[in-house]
Amino acid sequence: MAQEVIFEARHMHKAFGPTIALKDVDFTLRRGEIRGLIGENGSGKSTIMSIASGMQPATSGEMTYLGKPWQPHNMIESQHAGISMILQEANTIPGVTVAQNLFAGREAEFSKLGIINMGKMYRAADALLDKFGIENIRARDRIDALTFEDRKLTEIVRCVDDDTQILVVDETTTALSLEGREILYKLIHKMAGEGKAVVFISHDMDEILEQCTDLTVLRDGDIIGHLTRAEMDAPDAVQRIRYMMVGREIGEKYYREDYDPSCSPEAALVLDHISFGPIRDFSLTLHRGEIVGFGGLSGCGMHEIGRAAYGLEKLEAGSVTRNGAKIKGCLSAIQHGIGYISKNRDTESLILDAAIQENIVLPSLTSLSGPAMFISPRAEKKMSDEQIESFRIKCGGGSQYVNTLSGGNKQKVSFGKWMAKGSEVIIMDCPTRGVDIGVKQSMYALIERMKKEGKAILMISEELSELIGMADRIIIMKDFEVTKEFTRSPDLKQTDIIEYMI
């Protein structure tokens, strides 16, 4: 059932100076398709669609959209023409309401004689949100009061309207909560059903296999292959896709292979009957050489537990202690060998507008300071180069700015900070968010190595497969309370866990 072609690119080529991002690729998109684009960071999967949506021009090649030559100059032009792209980063306007965000640039529709009828705008916004099945966000909410996940959802609502012909979802799902993902999935299937087209760019293979009707695999700027739905359902599909993406066998080893949940009896971090905000009387003992996983929906309180363990939350009762010393704030946490990797990598764990080296050495500056407070540039470089080397951070050197790195490499920098500091307890919140398979695999290997070295790890994750694969103990939370605790076992299935989450 070959559908009508909606978009086509011929000999699309994109070069940044001497490096080639896209090598003369041909790409065809048909109506009714949910096309998955998968590939490692830097494979060119986002580049294709960013050119199609006018974010950047191609170096050469032609595009056809709705049967006519297509040469967008910017994203607004594309959006008016029906190609909308939802980007990875948050792009909402702070300081105003949800409705003002939704209708930014379209105020004229609600204005009379230059005065905006806000009541009308709020009603229209609520109706729009209802249409998408979003109930927890309301038009009058201030955008800043929303969580990151809900802001992302707001953005999706803004991007899509009845005239949207092609929706590009660029690694957005990693930034959404489970409920948000369901809303997005429903939307893309509805659009495909209406004969529109969706391009779904993601790192998450499970998600791609579940949602997409077609799949294109890219590697190093080349289209490597194309899979139909039938091929995606084949039993060896996952191995085949991984092989196509990486270009070599990445091996079976992905998660930990042992099922031995034992660890040292020595406590590394103790959360003793802590209460703050909606969290009441929570206790946990994390041992040396133990990986404790936290799972749940995004609003279940697990992220807050991670923050509290690092001294970021003001406790109303109880205490966080390490080796008998009370953790009062980040500074004392760091001094006692605790490291924290926030789930908001780009806004909290890293300084994007700074060099790799400046990020890596930041928590270690005190220990690098010598007499007269002198910090030797050589010592700084050595410390940072060691981490770049050991994590194989893909960069031109420690002086390269972090904002030029890919998601996976950025995350390696935030791990490197705490490795350089020699932290013994690492709290990691969504450590593999927005990271591709190759990097994920090396991170899992690193986490396993850290466990063997006797480090204690608190791993908070929205990916159940990751928790099952890595953690010794899995604590499931719902509505700020622990609903169930699982011990590492080969028999543990996602389905067993999910019922305690929802």
Partner 1 sequence: MNEAVIEKSSRSPLTWLKKHSAQAAAYSGLLVCIIFFSIVTPMTGESIWSINKLSTLMQNVIVLALMSVGAVFVYALGSMDISIGKQVGLYATLVVVLGNATGSLLGGIVLSLVISVVIGAVNGAAGEVLHIHPIISSLVFMMVLTGVSSITYNSLGSRNVALSGVDVSIFRQTWFMLLALVVEVLVVSYLFYYTKLGKNAKAIGANAVSAQQSGINLIRYKMLAYIIMGVCVVLASLFQMGYTASASDSTGTGFEMNVMVALILGGMPLSGGMRSRISCAIVGSFTYALLDVGLPMLGVLPNQVFVIKAVMFLVVVVLTCRKRGGTLPR
Catalog residues that contact partner 1 under the rule CB under 8 A: 14, 16-22, 41-42, 44, 46-47, 50, 54-56, 74-76, 79, 87, 91-93, 104, 221, 310, 312, 330-331, 333-335, 340, 342, 347-355, 358, 362-363, 365-366, 369, 372-375, 377, 394-396, 400-401, 404-407, 409, 417
* H or E, element range at 126: helix 118-131
Q: Between residues 106 and 229, which has the closer beta carbon with respect to partner 1? A: 106
Q: How far is the CB of 262 from partner 1 (least distance, A)?
A: 32
Q: Between residues 47 and 211, which has the closer beta carbon with respect to partner 1? A: 47
Q: Between residues 78 and 165, which has the closer beta carbon with respect to partner 1? A: 78
Q: Between residues 263 and 269, which has the closer beta carbon with respect to partner 1? A: 269
Q: Between residues 202 and 213, which has the closer beta carbon with respect to partner 1? A: 202
Q: How far is the CB of 55 from partner 1 (least distance, A)?
A: 5
* H or E, element range at 356: helix 356-361
Half-sphere CA count of 329, side-chain side, radius 13 A: 1
Q: Between residues 108 and 498, which has the closer beta carbon with respect to partner 1? A: 108
Contact (Cβ atoms closer than 8 angstroms) between residue 16 and residue 25: no
> b/e per residue, 176-211, with b = 16+ CB within 10 A?
bbbbbbebbbebbeebbeeebbbbbbbbbbebbbeb
Burial class (CB in 10 A: 0-12, 13-18, 19+), 268: buried
CB atoms within 10 A of CB 137: 21
Q: How far is the CB of 481 from partner 1 (least distance, A)?
A: 27
Q: Between residues 40 and 466, which has the closer beta carbon with respect to partner 1? A: 40
Q: How far is the CB of 132 from partner 1 (least distance, A)?
A: 19
Q: Between residues 295 and 363, which has the closer beta carbon with respect to partner 1? A: 363
Q: How far is the CB of 485 from partner 1 (least distance, A)?
A: 28
List all residues 6 or more positions away from 92 whose beta carbon is below 8 Å from its beta carbon.
101, 143, 151, 154, 155
Q: In one letter, which amino acid is 326?
A: K
Q: Between residues 148 and 401, which has the closer beta carbon with respect to partner 1? A: 401
Check residue 404 and report its DSSP letter.
G
Q: How far is the CB of 121 from partner 1 (least distance, A)?
A: 17
Q: How far is the CB of 56 from partner 1 (least distance, A)?
A: 5
SS3 60: strand
Q: Between residues 245 and 497, which has the closer beta carbon with respect to partner 1? A: 245
Check residue 345 and report its DSSP letter.
I
- The tokens describing 481, both together, are 């309370």
List all residues 6 or more positions away from 230 whose beta carbon is below 8 Å from its beta carbon.
none
Quote the CA–CA distance of 200 and 317 in Å, as a whole number. 46
CB atoms within 10 A of CB 27: 23
Q: How far is the CB of 501 from partner 1 (least distance, A)?
A: 27
Quote the CA–CA distance of 398 and 407 in Å, as a whole number. 17
Q: How far is the CB of 88 from partner 1 (least distance, A)?
A: 9
- The tokens describing 139, both together, are 């038009």
Quote the CA–CA distance of 210 and 140 in Å, as a whole number. 35
Q: Between residues 2 and 372, which has the closer beta carbon with respect to partner 1? A: 372
Burial class (CB in 10 A: 0-12, 13-18, 19+), 88: middle
Quote the CA–CA distance of 32 and 7 in Å, as a whole number. 12
